[in-house]
Amino acid sequence: MYTLKVYKLINMFFLFKTGGFVMWPLLICSLLSFYCAVERIIFWRNIRWHNNNTRENIIHHYLNSPSSFLDLLSNDNTYPLFSILLKALKFDKCSDENFHFALSSALQSEIPSLKRHTNIFSTVITISPLLGLLGTVLGLIESFSLITIGQTGTNNIEITGGISEALISTAAGLIVAITSLVFANYFKIEFQRELPLIKEFLVKFEIARTKKSNLL
């Protein structure tokens, strides 16, 4: 088993080396995409936890324990809904109309957080196949440069080596791009699912605030 792992590791290193210099920027793209994916997975996992354990109690806490409500919101600034309410409640003494605008403004300011790393994923998805294509072109140029019209006994190993470099870099570029595309689409779906839920909750919170104000 250990020998097999060592063999696979050596084989991966050989493929990386054979792929040419474009494998280095592809490696950087893959690591960048991996980092962004892990950060977003943790982010959306935290949101799902709060949605299941905290969201339903927010309005109840606001109506019954207003003194400790801000402390509750301040406990986790990574939860977008808490951040939105914290920003909007700075205008809690304003009219209902102005508070509505405050909620809308706070929501808009939080959207970049929900869509974070979108541009990075888009860049990686776009540039990775192009880098692979560049490796393909360079590999083919290297191969064809070894062929001279009328020459016999061309070094077949060097020719196939150039073609191998071309194919490996293309495959690597596609793998990085496809993987990043899967993650990007998954996080896009999470955003499209979460945004209407946030808007729905903010409407409920606004109604609860209005009722509370009328009782005072």
On the question of pLDDT at 16 being above 50, the answer is yes
- Would you say residue 106 lies in a domain? no
Q: What is the pTM of this model?
A: 0.81
- Would you say residue 174 lies in a domain? yes
Is the CB of residue 117 less than 8 Å from the CB of residue 151? no
Q: How many CB atoms lie within 10 A of CB 112?
A: 9
On the question of pLDDT at 5 being above 70, the answer is no
Q: What are the distances in angstroms from CA 23 to CA 28, 29, 142, 168?
A: 9, 10, 16, 9
Task: Give the pLDDT of residue 18.
Answer: 67
**Rounded Cα distance, 207 and 47, in Å:** 23
The CB-side HSE value for 34 (13 A sphere, CA atoms) comes to 8
- Would you say residue 196 lies in a domain? yes
Task: Give the pLDDT of residue 159.
Answer: 60
On the question of pLDDT at 158 being above 90, the answer is no
- Would you say residue 45 lies in a domain? yes
What is the token pair recorded at 128?
Answer: 């990775």
155: left (phi over 0), alpha (psi -120 to 50) or beta: beta
Region 17-22: what's the mean pLDDT?
Answer: 73
Tally of domains in the chain: 1
On the question of pLDDT at 28 being above 90, the answer is yes
- Would you say residue 161 lies in a domain? yes
Range of the domain at 63: 24-72+117-215
Is the CB of residue 142 less than 8 Å from the CB of residue 162? yes
Segment 169-209, tens digit of pLDDT: 888 899 999 999 999 999 999 999 999 999 999 999 888 88
- Would you say residue 4 lies in a domain? no
On the question of pLDDT at 146 being above 90, the answer is no
On the question of pLDDT at 111 being above 90, the answer is yes
On the question of pLDDT at 150 being above 70, the answer is no
Task: Give the pLDDT of residue 152.
Answer: 47
- Would you say residue 135 lies in a domain? yes
On the question of pLDDT at 127 being above 60, the answer is yes
Is the CB of residue 127 less than 8 Å from the CB of residue 172? no
- Would you say residue 86 lies in a domain? no
Segment 36-92, tens digit of pLDDT: 999 999 999 999 998 888 887 888 888 887 777 888 788 777 889 989 988 888 888
